[in-house]
Amino acid sequence: MKIRTRVPAGLSGFFVPHITDKLETTGAYGGGLLVDRGVELELSIDLDVDRDVRIVRNIVNGEEIDSCIARYIVDRMTREVGIDRYNITINQRVFVPIGGGYGSSGSSALAIAIAIARALKLKTTLRQIAEVAHEADIVCKTGLGTVVGLLNPCGGIVIVKRAGGPFYAEIEHIPIDNTIIALTAFYKPIPKESILSSHEELERIRIIGVKTLGRILEEPTPEVFIRECYSFAIKTGFARGYIAEILRSVNSLRGVVGASMNMIGEGIFMFVEREYINDVEEYVKKLNPRWIYIWRPINCLEIDVT
């Protein structure tokens, strides 16, 4: 049997760690954008194998990679239905840079969980499936709140007002009209494990992030969102060196509503007035990123300004 799934990516602009003693209530407040091209996955499963055979092959962009997330989800969901033998191959195509603050781990986790649930014919809701993906992202120390932001049908700017898993989180959206285009550029990944494992670092980020969230909710507009994301990136110290220089440069460009840094990765994202997007793209290309992508942030309702 083969199952195919596709899940958007979740670019993070700021986050507020929220760690509890339970996986279902642990997560992150924060905000970001859905990127329309995230993870496409094909899963093949064979349950007619010898006893005690438990094989999980995870292939990402043509390379076989041992995945904590894949192992956690497969083990968790097969145990639920009493399956103790399987041969599973997960073939993923990840369109966004891995480790760049695009939420690829959360997107991958959700895509895997949906495919496994379908392959095992589990009688379960999307929220229940997403809970397993959320747990995997946390246990494997690859993310905190990406999965819950991917669940909602609306896009625009996604704001997590209350942290936690799919049964606890509360999501808001800030609409973006058709005069604004999003552009992102990636330079190199940042390992998250040391940051997400340090209690002191998480607490410092939390204090700054709570203030960021409050200011955005007081005035929920794209302009305030991107401004506060930039402030968060500077105050936390994530934006430093050449990334800080790039941000100062692009924020001064004509037509750029605002720019900030991906959380967490050495990449930038910005809102650009539609008529200036070509000029801004050409400028950013000269800054030698590894990857550039331009898209209109997804909205559940069309908002056209003429």
- Distance CA(277)–CA(258), nearest Å, equals 13
pLDDT attached to residue 303: 43
Per-residue pLDDT tens for 176-225?
988 999 999 999 998 766 665 677 888 899 999 999 999 999 999 999 99
Query: Phi/psi zone of residue 284: left (φ > 0), alpha (ψ -120 to 50 degrees), beta?
Result: alpha
Predicted TM-score (pTM) of the model is: 0.92
> How high is the pLDDT of residue 29?
94
CATH-assigned architecture of domain 2-171: 2-Layer Sandwich (3.30)
Given the candidates 3.30.70.890, 2.70.70.10, 3.30.460.10, 3.40.50.300, the CATH classification of the domain at 176-295 is: 3.30.70.890
- So what's the pLDDT on residue 301? 46
Phi, psi of 268 (to 5 degrees): -130, 155
> For the chain, which residues score pLDDT lower than 70?
153-155, 192-197, 298-306
- Where in the chain are the domains? 2-171, 176-295
* pLDDT on residue 143: 87
